[in-house]
Amino acid sequence: MRILAPAIALALASAGLHADDQFAPLRDAMVREIAAMSSVTRAETGRAEFAASVMVAMVRVPRHQFVPPDEQPYAYENRPLPIGYGQTISQPYIVALMTDLAQVGPGDVVLEIGTGSGYQAAILAELAQAVYTLEIIEPLAMQARERLGRLGYSKVRARLGDGYQGWPEHGPYDAILVTAAASHVPPPLIAQLKAGGRMVIPVGAPFMTQYLLLIEKAGDGSLSTRQVLPVRFVPLVGGG
């Protein structure tokens, strides 16, 4: 934990957090738990620790703003939480892992499939040049767009749409993150992934084994796929 302490301190300072912010210690504790888990899962993920930029983003983004009011006391627990309409906000460790695997940099344009409450999009906005995010459930899409705007995430463009089809107008993308489990990798998303880009997507049937996949597209368009670890996500809704 000593390695990450300076990054955490920098994030707390740059986020303008202060002593009367009741959630600051909880965010700090959440990030420390994520760091501990990353060490435990290094054999599966290949990552003993996540990038400092990812950990800073996890501290900076106020997760309690992305959950319903009755879930706010639990916002910094390392587990998924319900956000309504049968959907969840992902476990913080999984958000950090997916972000780390995507290797998002300052000049990158990123596509997210499954906006949900907007939390993953906000994390990506801390790292990328632009984030485009799609949500197929209309009330969630409208709420997330209002929330992200209110919290100042101007790098994020969110809209209602079928994530299976992607958002080709703004592609190709340096990274694509899918936050719901698909039965297979959607071909339109592969087509919208830039050469040299990375896609992180859970694949598998509901209530059965799902695996988080890392897909990398080479310069010649060929793909390499690696199973990272077993996960459990709500199913991807959309055509295919």
Helices (H), 61-204: 92-102, 119-125, 138-150, 187-191
- 90 is an active site residue: yes
Check 90, 117, 154, 222 and give the catalytic one: 90
Helix (H, G, I), strand (E, B) or coil at 157: strand
Cα gap 50→59, rounded to integer Å:
13
> Can you say whether residue 225 is alpha, beta or left, with left for phi > 0 and alpha for psi between -120 and 50 degrees?
beta
From the CB of residue 44, how many other CB atoms can be counted at a distance below 10 Å? 13
Cα gap 56→6, rounded to integer Å:
10
Cα gap 115→121, rounded to integer Å:
7
**Residue 148, token pair as written in the block:** 């992200």
In the 8-state DSSP scheme, what is residue 66? G
In the 8-state DSSP scheme, what is residue 220? T
Catalytic residue set: 90
